[in-house]
């Protein structure tokens, strides 16, 4: 069985940890140590804030989870599959199990809101019937049904980020990885974005949100992992699935 197939089946097999990093070390260019002896387990269905100053290793953590970078040492297990041993041809299938939300939204302005979301389904080869059902559904979920025909440039920052979330959600991922999703948004709208992520989490999707916005983190009752100098400095509020 391929690693990609294992990823999909992992959940069915009832594996409870979604992301597991074991003794991870990441050194760039033989000199810069980004992570050392890093251990972190995120359970299926959890909502986790990852906080830390810039340069603490947050971005490296995301790159390792997405397999954009290889760890120098250690083991990463995603949904029961060891991805450190994964072939590069299987990376796309790994990424299909995670929806990614970016700080700078990464929307294509030549396309409408609807097309931006549809594009994500094109990439995984979804059929038109499937698309015409799923795209309006997720746009409704993020509250943008009435703006489906607009261009991203016509929207506010908060709305743009909701398009980004719709795109991340549309392929039904196991987890959502959000990289500073409120970083470019008016603070008054940030709360709403995280709340929406919370709603998605309630349906069982694991959420990992990297942020340095301590104010917003404090407003939610989710687990907080603080990274400092390439290690987990604090880890509070861990819960088990289904609590």
Partner 1 sequence: MKLVSIKYFLKEGFKNIWINGMMSIASILVMVCCMILTGSAVLMSVNVRSTLKTIEGKNSITVYLNKDVSHAQAAKIEEKIKAIPNVSHCEYYSREEAVKKYEEMLGSLFDILQGDENPFPNAFHVTMEDFSTYAYENTVDSLKAIDGVGSISDRSETAKKLTSLNSLLTSAGFWIVISLGAVSLFIISNTIKVSMYSRRFEISIMKSIGATNWFIRVPFIIEGVVIGLISAVISTGLLKLVYDEAMIIINKIVPFRGMPFEDVALPIFLGFTVVGVLLGAVGGVISISRYLKKEGGDVVAW
Region binding partner 1 by CB under 8 A among candidate stretches 75-83, 99-107, 150-158, 234-242: 99-107
On whether the CB atoms of residues 127 and 67 are closer than 8 A, the answer is: no
- Smallest distance from the beta carbon of 108 to partner 1, in angstroms? 6
Give just the sign of the alpha carbon dihedral 238, 226, 91, 106: positive
Using CB under 8 A as the binding rule, the residues of this chain from 137 to 176 that contact partner 1 are 167, 171
Region binding partner 1 by CB under 8 A among candidate stretches 17-25, 33-41, 101-109, 186-194: 101-109
Tokens for 10? Answer: 């992992």
CA distances from 241 to 17, 18, 25, 150, 182 (A): 9, 11, 28, 38, 26
- Secondary structure (3-state) at 37: strand
Nearer Cβ to partner 1, position 92 or 221?
92
DSSP state letters, 73-110: EEEEEETTEEGGG--GGGHHHHHTTEEEE-TT----TT
∠ CA 169-230-216, nearest 5°, is 50
Region binding partner 1 by CB under 8 A among candidate stretches 33-41, 117-125, 155-163, 215-223: 117-125
The site for partner 1, by CB under 8 A, has a size of: 27
Nearer Cβ to partner 1, position 99 or 158?
99
- Secondary structure (3-state) at 114: helix
* φ, ψ for residue 102, nearest 5 deg: -105, 155
242: contact with partner 1 by CB under 8 A:
no
Region binding partner 1 by CB under 8 A among candidate stretches 43-51, 114-122, 146-154, 218-226: 114-122
Q: Which of 27, 124, 189, 216 binds partner 1 (CB under 8 A)?
A: 124
Cα separation, 164 vs 147, in Å, equals 14
Q: Which of 14, 127, 153, 243 binds partner 1 (CB under 8 A)?
A: 127
Burial readout 13-27 (b: 16 or more C-beta within 10 A, e: otherwise):
eebebbbbbbebebe
Q: Which of 53, 123, 214, 236 binds partner 1 (CB under 8 A)?
A: 123
Region binding partner 1 by CB under 8 A among candidate stretches 98-106, 151-159, 184-192, 221-229: 98-106
Contact mark string toward partner 1, 41..80, x via CB under 8 A: ------------------x--xx--x-x------------
Mention every residue, 6+ apart, whose C-beta is less than 8 A from residue 113: 139, 144, 147, 148, 149, 150, 151, 152, 155, 163
* List of residues contacting partner 1 (CB under 8 A): 59, 62-63, 66, 68, 89, 92-96, 100, 102, 106, 108, 119-120, 122-128, 167, 171, 179
């Amino acid at each position: 069985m391929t690693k990609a197939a294992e990823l999909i089946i992992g959940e069915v097999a009832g594996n409870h940890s979604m992301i597991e990093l074991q003794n991870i070390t990441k050194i760039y260019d033989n000199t810069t140590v980004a992570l050392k002896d890093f251990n972190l387990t995120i359970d299926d269905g959890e909502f986790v804030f990852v906080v830390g100053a810039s340069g603490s290793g947050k971005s490296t953590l995301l790159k390792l989870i997405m397999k954009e970078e290889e760890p120098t040492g250690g083991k990463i297990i995603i949904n029961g599959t060891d991805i450190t041993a994964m072939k590069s041809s299987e990376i796309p299938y790994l990424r299909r199990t995670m929806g990614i939300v970016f700080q700078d939204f990464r929307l294509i302005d030549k396309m409408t809101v609807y097309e931006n979301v549809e594009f994500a389904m094109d990439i995984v080869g979804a059929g038109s019937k499937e698309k015409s059902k799923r795209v309006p559904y997720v746009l409704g979920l993020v509250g943008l049904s009435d703006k489906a025909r607009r261009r991203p440039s016509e929207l506010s920052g908060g709305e743009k980020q909701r398009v980004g979330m719709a795109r991340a959600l549309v392929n039904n991922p196991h987890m959502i990885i959000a990289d500073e999703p409120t970083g470019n948004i008016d603070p008054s709208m940030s709360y709403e974005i995280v709340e929406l992520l919370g709603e998605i989490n309630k349906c069982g999707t694991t959420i990992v949100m990297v942020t340095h916005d301590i104010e917003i983190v404090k407003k939610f009752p989710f687990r907080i992992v603080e990274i400092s100098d390439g290690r987990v400095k604090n880890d509070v509020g861990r819960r088990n699935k289904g609590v």
